[in-house]
Structures are given as C-alpha cells and as structure tokens.
Amino acid sequence: MKGWQFFCLFGSLWSQIYWQNLNDAFQRARFQDRILLIYIYTPWCAPCVMMDQNTWAHPVIATYATANFHCVRLNAEARDSLFFNGTYFPYLPDLHANQLAYLLLEGKMEYPALVLMDPSGTILLTLRGYIAPKLMDEVLRYFGGGFYRHTAWEEFQKTNPSKL
C-alpha cells in the first residue's frame, strides 16, 4: 500500500490534509487528471487560522480533499521564489505578496482564498474569505465528483446538500 493510500484510508483519524509541494502537485494533477486545490493564506490572518481549525481539520473535509484533489498550501507572503509550471515567481516587496499568489488572485489580495485549477492550468473557481465546513463540503464534492461539468451549482446544492 502506498503512503497516500494509507493516508486516505486512515486520514480521518488525524483530520489532516496531505499538503503537497506546489509544482509536484501540479505535475501529479496533470498526470492523474485531477483538480489542483490551492489554499492561499497568510500566517497573521485570523480567518485563515479559523479555516485551519474548523474547515481543513474537519475529518470529512480532510479525507475527501486528500482523496480527490492535489492540495497545496500557499503562503501569499512567501519571500522565497516559487517554482510553478516552469516559471519562478518572486516575492514582490511593494505588494507584500508573492507574484504567483498575486496572479492567482488577480490582484485581489483577500485571505484566506481557495483556487481550484484543472490539470491544464485553467482556474475553475476562486473563493475569498472564510469557508465554513458545510460549504466547503459542497464545493469539494461538486468539483471533485465532476458535477461542475454538467450540473449547475444551484441544482447541485438542491439535490446534494451537505450532511455536515
């Protein structure tokens, strides 16, 4: 049994998401045709801490996210250059943000933020602000289950409400 399979089976015991390196996760997402989940945060952000404690630590959310996405935590203020898809993205001191976070959020630097990206690099969804477990459950199942390809969000919410 591979490590990630072990984690998926027993991940709910630890209630932790398997966070991956950005570039490795993107390569795996392309190889496995899975969506890349990028959680953009800052260490000083109170809603980010709440997301860590309430949403990402929820056993259902952690298990589902790890099993169905390639998950990345991206500190928006990372001072080291980030390598992604063949390009290095530097820290931009004037903006107090890494260039990649700035581009992913289209300059709207609100934290926390969730970016879902398909394997081709197309952004499917960007959500800003605290996301409660119930809504996160619905969002993850909508995209992770492929419903976004053929079902409107409103219809999905009516027919597949979260049980959290």
The CA distance from 64 to 136, in Å, is 10
Domain assignment of residue 110, yes or no: yes
SS3 40: strand
- Burial status of residue 110 (CB atoms within 10 A of its CB: 0-12, 13-18, 19 or more): middle
Q: What is the pLDDT of residue 23?
A: 87
In a domain, 164, yes or no: no
Please write down the HEC assignment for all residues of 101-144: HHHHCCCCCCCCEEEEECCCCCEEEEEECCCCHHHHHHHHHHHH
Residue 15 confidence (pLDDT): 60
**What pTM does this model have?**
0.88
Structural domain includes residue 68: yes
For 92-142, the pLDDT digits (tens) are: 999 999 999 999 999 999 999 999 999 999 999 999 999 999 999 999 999
Tally of domains within the chain:
1
Report yes or no on 2 lying in a domain: no
The CATH number that applies at residue 136 is: 3.40.30.10
| Pairing verdict, β 113-117 and 123-128 | antiparallel
Distance CA(142)–CA(156), nearest Å, equals: 7
Positive or negative torsion for Cα 125, 14, 156, 110: negative
- The domain of 90 spans 10-159
Distance CA 164, CA 162 (A): 5
Q: Is residue 4 part of a domain?
A: no
